[in-house]
């Protein structure tokens, strides 16, 4: 247990590599579920991705929107990062090399944490005397996450046909993002249309700045739950600020694939890769195909090789 909030314990599962000769870089997984359902067990096989290759892997619980409204979830992520750093020596973790990896709602929270979003005065339930412990991360990987609550309806109206969408977490029938019953509105505790200020504060796009950690963004072009335009919008904003950012657009993929251990099985999907880095011209290429190796290589590049 890393914290206790809203009447329940919040747990973290750790997957540690064997036969370590030095502290391991850490990657923290944040689960999906529309901020409404799910827990730390909703994850790919973290013992295989990437603990078997020397990374320490952590999957955390955070409070759901039916337990507490935003920014409680962001506070939980930061509390987990503090706990992991405090206990780094105990678990053989290198506290200087920490990455965040999240999908959908988890990707949204990972982006907010990595961008250093300040949404209130940070006085909250995790007052454990460790507020001075840093919560920064050195790399960020996110999949098909909502980035701007105020543009999603218009982007969805432009259309995306779900070709391969086995785990889509879709809106209730007929609902719009701006409706009070949308997952985004339930997260902030008010209709997005009534409280655009809250919706903006909860949107990672509002917290983009220069010198954020290197970022890998992955999205399927057939996503009917979160439009791929959300990831394109984030990529463009990060690139404008001179950040190191890569966008993988996977043709035909729908929502939720990152939690499936076999998403990269079968014939490779066509991929369009965009990469930008401060001072360099954007590069756009076809492929290579997206796989778990792609994500591991990204963390290896920016967190360093495990010993």
- pLDDT at position 267, please? 85
Instruction: Give the angle 262-269-296 at the CA atoms, nearest 5°.
Output: 55
Residue 86's φ and ψ, nearest 5 degrees, are: -60, -35
- Measure the CA–CA gap between 277 and 170, rounded to whole angstroms: 34
- Measure the CA–CA gap between 51 and 44, rounded to whole angstroms: 12
pTM of the full predicted structure?
A: 0.92
What is the β-pairing status of strands 271-276 and 245-250? antiparallel
Provide the CA 299 distance to its chain's centre, in angstroms. 14
- pLDDT at position 181, please? 76
- pLDDT at position 94, please? 98
Q: CB atoms < 10 A from the CB of 154, how many?
A: 11
Instruction: Give the angle 298-250-150 at the CA atoms, nearest 5°.
Output: 90
- Measure the CA–CA gap between 101 and 260, rounded to whole angstroms: 15
- DSSP assignment of 235-275: HHHHHHTT--EEEEEETTB-SSGGG-TTTT-SSPPPEEEEE
In the block, residue with structure tokens 């979830």:
73
What is the β-pairing status of strands 93-103 and 56-60? unpaired
- pLDDT at position 51, please? 95
Per-residue tens of pLDDT for the chain, all 307 residues? 999 998 899 999 999 999 888 999 999 999 999 999 999 999 999 999 999 999 999 999 999 999 999 999 999 999 999 999 999 999 999 999 999 999 999 999 999 999 999 877 444 545 556 778 999 999 999 999 999 999 998 888 665 433 333 344 455 445 566 666 789 999 999 999 999 999 999 999 999 999 999 999 999 999 989 999 999 999 999 999 999 999 999 998 999 999 999 888 888 889 999 999 987 889 999 988 999 999 999 999 999 999 7
**Is residue 142 helix, strand or coil?**
strand
- pLDDT at position 165, please? 35
Label residue 284 exposed, middle or buried (CB < 10 Å: 0-12, 13-18, 19+): exposed
Compute CA distances 295 → 25, 62, 147, whole Å. Answer: 14, 23, 20
Residue 271's φ and ψ, nearest 5 degrees, are: -130, 135
Report the C-alpha dihedral over residues 81, 84, 87, 89, rounded to 10 degrees: -110
- Indicate the domain borders of the chain: 3-303
Q: Which CATH architecture has domain 3-303?
A: 3-Layer(aba) Sandwich (3.40)
Question: What is the C-alpha R_g of the chain?
Answer: 18
Hey, which bits of the chain come out as E strands?
3-5, 8-10, 12-15, 24-30, 56-60, 93-103, 139-143, 215-220, 245-250, 271-276, 283-286
Residues in the chain: 307
- pLDDT at position 6, please? 87
């Amino acid at each position: 247990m890393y914290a206790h909030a809203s009447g329940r314990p919040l747990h973290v599962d750790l997957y540690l590599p064997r036969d370590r000769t030095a502290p391991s870089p850490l990657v923290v997984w944040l689960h999906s579920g529309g901020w409404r359902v799910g827990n730390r067990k909703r994850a790919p096989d973290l013992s295989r991705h990437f603990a078997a290759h020397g990374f320490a892997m952590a999957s955390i619980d955070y409070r759901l929107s039916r337990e507490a409204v935003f920014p409680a979830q962001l506070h939980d992520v930061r509390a987990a990062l503090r706990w992991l750093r405090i206990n780094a020596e105990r678990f053989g973790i290198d506290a200087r090399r920490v990455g965040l990896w999240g999908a959908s709602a988890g990707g949204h929270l990972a982006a907010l944490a990595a961008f250093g979003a300040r949404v209130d005065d940070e006085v909250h339930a995790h007052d454990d005397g460790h507020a001075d412990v840093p919560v920064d991360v050195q790399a960020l990987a996110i999949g098909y996450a909502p980035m701007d609550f105020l543009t999603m309806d218009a982007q969805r109206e432009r259309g995306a046909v779900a070709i391969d969408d086995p785990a889509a977490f879709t809106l209730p029938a007929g609902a719009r993002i701006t409706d009070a019953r949308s997952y985004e509105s339930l997260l902030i505790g008010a209709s997005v249309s009534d409280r655009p200020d809250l919706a903006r504060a909860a949107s990672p796009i509002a917290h983009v700045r220069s010198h954020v950690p290197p970022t890998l963004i992955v999205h399927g072009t057939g996503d009917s739950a979160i439009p791929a335009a959300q990831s394109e919008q984030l990529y463009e904003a990060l690139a404008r600020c001179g950040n190191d950012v890569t966008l993988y657009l996977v043709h035909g993929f729908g929502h939720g694939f990152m939690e499936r251990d076999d998403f990269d099985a079968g014939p490779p999907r066509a991929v369009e890769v965009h990469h930008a880095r401060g001072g360099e011209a954007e590069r756009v290429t076809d492929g290579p195909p997206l796989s778990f190796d792609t994500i591991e290589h990204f963390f290896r590049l920016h967190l360093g090789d495990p010993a």
